[in-house]
Amino acid sequence: MISDNDEQVLKKICVTFNTNFLSGADMIQAIIIAIDANKMKHPGLSKVDPKEFLKVFSRDMKVHAPSHLRELTINIFEHLMLTHVNPSLKGPELRLKLGALLLPLYLW
């Protein structure tokens, strides 16, 4: 089960991402902004360099289909949460929560 604190961090990251993505930022820019804007929400995020963090996913960023971009964003935020917020989060529950919080596919 996701704790209230972890869920709040996740919601804030997703809201920031959604807002910037809908405002015209591309996926990568929106992810960088979401991480940077929420560094103070959790101590584990405070030292994350978003550009360095995203290098792990650079090979996967060559896709352009909206469904793949959305799935990649879910993977990135899942990895962020498991690596820097709470490594004991359950993957399936976390992925479901991310899927519910991120913009629906038709908006990509």
In 10 A of CB 90, how many CB atoms? Answer: 12
Q: Choose the weakest-confidence range: 13-27, 55-69, 83-97.
A: 55-69
The sign of the CA dihedral 105, 10, 41, 53 is negative
The SS3 of residue 65 is coil
Q: What is the mean pLDDT of the chain?
A: 94
Structure-token pair, residue 6: 């972890």
Q: Which domain holds residue 54?
A: 4-107
What pLDDT score does 75 carry? 96
What is the number of domains present in the chain? 1
Residue 8 to residue 13: CA distance in whole angstroms: 9
